């Protein structure tokens, strides 16, 4: 029986708390976040005596150390924002607790996400005998596990990887983001990037797009983006010649985003407003719907998977592995929408891997560095069933 501390009581934090409460392996759960009322509302919805709550400003490591020393969890699951990653890793080192997150560190004043800051903790975690698992949501997260699983069971060499992420759901709002708006908009408005033949190639934001078919959904316009798991997969999957990431957006979403960008509302530098300094993107976040509030009326499915091509026994092999997730079913089960659900469930499975000793080794790791099998075994039972397509024509034969 293990104890888990969850940091962040947003859309993803709610799913993680619900799912941890449902696992016999977790005897006690502490949900801590900046606004304690959100923790309390989630705990009330779960209705289990296992779940305790606390107020926490996780930007200050000493606050977290105090809670960790009092509660003494076996693992900390960080589902606050990427800005808190380093302070939470520092706190885990000081308190001697394993760490897991779903998004890599970003400095608040630069829209740049890369693993360098967190990979720099490698020696400290190793020396402390602690495990840190980075990017254990769906993408990053399951996409890395899918790729490791493909390499283990279906390929001698992987040559190309195309991760495709479709949200074909509808929440009925004119414009909203499915996870934290500030992080989401920073991700999408930056220049696109993909890996080919040993180098990174850059493109203008959202300038390359094709209709790509998704199971049970059909064709959706999909945009080439930079996504953080590309960095670790290029490093950890030997022989990879090309790695790309595609995400669907509706025309209405892109139009709203273009207008917001054109009028300066996506800026992340400070501007003076009525004698006060404000960051336009943070102000925009304050007026947009919270991701967790979209859940009630959300219909339709998400579909995220990996198209992989390479060699098996001297022959070309094509392989597609994916999960489809229904927003309304997520709401029925845990009161959340599909994006929060597909992120939160893998974080819980990652934590289970650590506390069961299956992914427990000292150092800082990305998910594809571990044995994918026990993780894949739990995905379906915990709510994210996956499917495979082997040696069928790929949409990327032409793209």
Interface positions with ligand NDP (CB under 6 A):
7-13, 33-35, 38, 56-59, 79-82, 84, 102-103, 135, 137-141, 179-180, 183, 290-292, 339-340, 343
What minimum distance in Å lies between the beta carbon of 139 and ligand NDP?
A: 5
Closest by Cα among 72, 57, 73, 68 to 91: 68
How does DSSP classify residue 20?
A: H
If the CB atoms of residues 186 and 318 are measured against ligand NDP, the closer one turns out to be 186
The three-state DSSP-derived secondary structure of 107-154 is CCCCCCCCCHHHHCCHHHHHHHCCEEEECCECCCEHHHHHHHHHHHHC
Q: How far is the CB of 373 from ligand NDP (least distance, A)?
A: 21
Please state, in angstroms and rounded to a whole number, the distance separating the CA atoms of residues 375 and 373.
5
93 or 154: whose CB is closer to ligand NDP? 93
Q: Which is nearer to ligand NDP, 21 or 325 (CB)?
A: 325
245 forms beta bridges with 163, 225
Residues near 65 by Cβ (< 8 Å), separated by ≥ 6? 91, 94, 95
State the residue number with the nearest CB to ligand NDP. 10
Cβ proximity to ligand NDP, 61 vs 308, nearer residue:
61
- Asked whether the beta carbons of 307 and 318 are under 8 A apart, the reply is yes
If the CB atoms of residues 12 and 308 are measured against ligand NDP, the closer one turns out to be 12
Minimum Å gap between C-beta 393 and ligand NDP is 28
Instruction: Quote the least distance from Cβ 58 to ligand NDP, whole Å.
Output: 3
DSSP 2: E
The answer to whether 50 touches 29, Cβ cutoff 8 Å, is: yes
Kindly tell me which of 12 and 150 has the beta carbon lying closer to ligand NDP: 12
Minimum distance, C-beta of residue 198 to ligand NDP, in the bound complex (Å)? 26
CB of 366 to ligand NDP, least distance (A): 12
Determine how many CB atoms are found less than 10 A away from the CB of residue 326.
18
Q: Which of 146, 137, 94, 99 is nearest to 118 (CA)?
A: 99
**What residues does 206 pair with on adjacent strands?**
none
- Provide the β-strand partners of residue 307: 162, 320
* Shortest separation between residue 390's beta carbon and ligand NDP, angstroms: 25
Please give the structure tokens belonging to residue 113: 């996400």
How far apart are CB 359 and ligand NDP at their closest, in Å? 17
Nearer CB in complex with ligand NDP: 76/81: 81
Question: How many CA atoms lie within 13 Å of 163's alpha carbon, on the beta-carbon side?
Answer: 26
Question: In terms of CB distance, is 245 or 319 closer to ligand NDP?
Answer: 245
């Amino acid at each position: 029986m293990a104890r888990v501390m969850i940091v962040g009581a947003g859309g993803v934090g709610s799913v993680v708390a619900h799912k941890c409460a449902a696992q016999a392996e977790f005897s006690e759960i502490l949900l801590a976040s900046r606004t304690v009322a959100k923790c309390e509302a989630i705990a009330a919805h779960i209705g289990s005596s296992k779940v305790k709550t606390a107020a926490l400003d996780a930007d200050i490591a000493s606050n977290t150390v105090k809670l960790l020393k009092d509660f003494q969890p076996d693992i900390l699951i960080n589902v606050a924002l990427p800005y808190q990653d380093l302070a939470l890793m520092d706190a885990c080192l000081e308190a001697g607790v394993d760490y897991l997150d779903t998004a890599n560190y970003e400095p608040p004043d630069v829209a740049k996400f890369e693993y360098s800051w967190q990979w720099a903790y490698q020696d400290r975690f190793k020396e402390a005998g602690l495990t840190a698992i980075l990017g254990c949501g769906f993408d990053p997260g399951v996409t890395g596990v899918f790729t490791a699983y493909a390499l283990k069971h279906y390929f001698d060499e992987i040559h190309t990887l195309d991760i495709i992420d479709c949200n074909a759901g509808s929440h009925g709002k004119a414009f909203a983001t499915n996870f934290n708006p500030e992080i989401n908009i920073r991700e999408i408005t930056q220049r696109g990037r993909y890996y080919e033949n040993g180098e990174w190639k850059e493109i203008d934001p959202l300038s390359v797009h094709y209709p790509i078919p998704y199971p049970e959904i059909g064709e959706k316009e999909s945009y080439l983006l930079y996504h953080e798991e590309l960095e670790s997969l290029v490093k950890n999957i030997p022989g990879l010649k090309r790695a790309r990431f595609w995400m669907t957006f509706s025309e209405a979403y892109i139009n709203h985003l273009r207008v917001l960008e054109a009028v300066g509302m996506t800026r992340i530098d400070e501007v003076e407003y009525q004698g006060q300094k404000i960051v336009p993107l943070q102000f925009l976040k304050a007026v947009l719907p919270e991701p967790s509030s979209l859940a009630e009326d959300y219909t339709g499915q998400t579909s995220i998977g990996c198209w992989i091509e390479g060699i098996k026994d001297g022959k070309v092999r094509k392989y597609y592995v994916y999960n489809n997730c229904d927003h309304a079913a997520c709401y029925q089960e845990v009161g959340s929408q599909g994006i929060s659900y597909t992120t939160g469930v893998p974080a819980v499975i990652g934590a289970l891997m650590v506390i069961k000793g299956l992914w427990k080794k000292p150092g800082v790791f990305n998910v594809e560095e571990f044995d994918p099998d026990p993780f894949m075994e739990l995905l379906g039972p915990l709510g994210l069933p996956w499917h495979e397509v082997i040696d069928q024509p790929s949409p990327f034969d032409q793209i």
